[in-house]
Amino acid sequence: MLVLIAASLALFWWRFRKVLFIIRGSRPTPDFEVAPWGPRIRDFLWEVAAQGKVIRQRPLPGLAHAFVFWGFCAFALITGNHLASAFGARFLSPAGGFGRFYFTFVALWAVAVAISIAGLFVRRFVVRPKWLGPVSPESGFIAFLIFVLMVTYLAGMGVAEDSLAGKATWWTHTLALLIFLPLIPHTKHLHLVLSPVTVFLKREGFSRIPPLAGDEDFGLDTGKDVTRIDAMQAFSCVECGRCTEHCPAYNTGKVLNPKEIVLGVRSYLNEFGPAHEAALLGKHISEEAAFQCTTCGGCEFQCPVGIQHLPMIIGLRRGAVNTGKWEDEYGTKLFLNLERNGNALGFAASERQKFIEKNALPLYDGTQEYCLWLGCMGSYDPQGREIVLALARVLRHMGVTFGVLRKEKCTGDPARRLGNDLAFSQVAEANIETLRGAKVGKMVSICPHCVRTIGTDWREFGASFEIEHHSELLARLEPRLPAAEASRPTTVYHDPCYLGRYRNIYEEPRAVAAHAGTLVEAPRARERSFCCGAGGGQMFLGEEKGKRVNVTRVEELVGTGAEVIGTACPFCQTMFRDALGVVTQSPPKLLDIAQMVAASLPAEVPKTPS
């Protein structure tokens, strides 16, 4: 027994120490602090101990997985006792009071684990959802070992220990255990050991882009740039494919598969070890894939082991763009627009000025309640301008004072997410100076991307502006709005990624949309909402491969039969407008929530000239 246990532990350690060596040899994570502990403990209890995320997002397989996990926890004492019994050092006896209870308690878990693992086996090898990837014989073998462990435990309870059957079950159980242990670090079951730590130590914030650590930091260019958190996350991937299942790029035939990005980092580290100088993009990770991401956050939201894809994917883009190694097709035109005109659409700033004057939008002078941030879409895009004017009309009607800035540049969102930190910092810092000069207090914007970038990304320049999305403001005003018409069109509301998953705002826009319409839900809604395809700079790149993301989403929204498609993001609206013509001959109305509310107001009486 000693030899067998030693061999099993040695094989475990032989591989596990290599993984530890790679993680410890990687760069310390510059933006990382363990404190505050509260949210980490809360996430650990919910995601690991309670398996809340796994169950909530995939109830049936999630519950099966949770039973296996909880069963393993219950079995820890029994396993220790089992191995100790080989040396006459058993500390739990079925004859004792606690022992009798505990053996029976664990027997119930053994039944639950055996049924669950059999169910998971059927799902993986018979049902075979496509995002699980190719059939994995190692998964089948591990499932078999777990099943054997449970069955032999149950069988051992019904036979005398020193009988032939008793000895056979004891040895089968022991051998299954000793084979299982070294397989853990050699397979994706390494997550059993790593993922509780990964979940506890994940970076703070959702899809947060870490600030660069000084002038020598360009993002994820070579293995030297991979941080310990990145390495630990790469080795924690359980290859469940939840990220793949929800990825709009993968689901529309692009090269990108978020799971493969994570596994690509793992393969790179396995081949080269930590802190190697070879480029990350290339053999193990495709550059094309990295630039197909819409930054929708679906992958990161779904991952059950705390892997944060966005810092990885945007880190890879940064590594390519900041070092000038990327293909010119990825954003050159956008970057030039930002540099020359200060906005993503490439218009002269005077066009914005004309729009403000023509529509008599008041200028912000510090006395108004809100600074209305227009953003590139609200300043230059005809449809975006309509949304701004609708919001302005509602605010005026409700007596909410606001003003717009004389000058605005792009927040830098698309440049930031395409990996161009220089272009991002130039526009962001210019805007921060303008806002500080105008002594801006509260801000509101029609664009969730602007809200995210101003409220979160700009913090690394020391800015802390109070900004909210117009759905939040309108939801507060909604109870005071005049009653809408009795006959309300059916309306399907599309959750924009940067408002839903990024900001956790789901109810407010629905409350506003429900004021003017009767809500129906799309099959993928709220935190599972499917991207419109514009984010992460994709709006300015143009999709080349596969089916268009916006067409896929619009087909789903049109399929609900709603008379109105409701949006709360000017990017979504533009993407849907483009797709509606392709999808249907008789498109439903496409309205932002501000336009819905504005349409329900009494008609404005034109002012008569004095």
Binding site for ligand SF4 (CB under 6 A): 237-243, 246-249, 256, 258-259, 262, 293-299, 302-303, 305, 307, 309, 313
54: which 2 tokens? 């796994």
Q: Is the dihedral of CA 500, 504, 510, 512 positive or negative?
A: negative
Q: Is the dihedral of CA 84, 86, 88, 94 positive or negative?
A: positive
d(CA 555, CA 28) in angstroms, rounded, equals: 45
| Closer CB to ligand SF4, 340 or 545, in the complex | 545
Q: For residue 584, how many other CB atoms are within 10 A of its CB?
A: 13
Min. distance of Cβ 250 from ligand SF4 in angstroms? 6
154: which 2 tokens? 């149950």
Beta bridge partners of 564: 491, 589
Residues 6+ apart with CB under 8 A from 457: 209, 411, 412, 413, 416, 424, 428
| Closer CB to ligand SF4, 250 or 576, in the complex | 250
d(CA 591, CA 493) in angstroms, rounded, equals: 10
Min. distance of Cβ 296 from ligand SF4 in angstroms? 4
Q: Which of 352, 270, 265 is nearest to 308 (CA)?
A: 265
Q: For residue 42, how many other CB atoms are within 10 A of its CB?
A: 10
Min. distance of Cβ 310 from ligand SF4 in angstroms? 6
| Closer CB to ligand SF4, 517 or 533, in the complex | 533
Q: For residue 161, how many other CB atoms are within 10 A of its CB?
A: 12
State the pairing for strand pair 589-592/564-567.
parallel
| Closer CB to ligand SF4, 153 or 530, in the complex | 530
Min. distance of Cβ 354 from ligand SF4 in angstroms? 36
| Closer CB to ligand SF4, 342 or 496, in the complex | 496
Min. distance of Cβ 290 from ligand SF4 in angstroms? 9
| Closer CB to ligand SF4, 251 or 337, in the complex | 251
Min. distance of Cβ 238 from ligand SF4 in angstroms? 4
Distances, alpha carbon 308 to alpha carbons 34, 199, 278, 452, 458, in Å: 16, 10, 23, 17, 20
| Closer CB to ligand SF4, 131 or 364, in the complex | 131
| Closer CB to ligand SF4, 303 or 505, in the complex | 303
Min. distance of Cβ 216 from ligand SF4 in angstroms? 27
| Closer CB to ligand SF4, 156 or 241, in the complex | 241
Min. distance of Cβ 1 from ligand SF4 in angstroms? 35
Residues 6+ apart with CB under 8 A from 292: 249, 254, 255, 256, 538, 543, 545
490's torsion region: left (phi>0), alpha (psi -120 to 50) or beta?
Answer: beta
Residues 6+ apart with CB under 8 A from 356: 363, 404
Min. distance of Cβ 497 from ligand SF4 in angstroms? 8
Radius of gyration of the chain (CA): 28
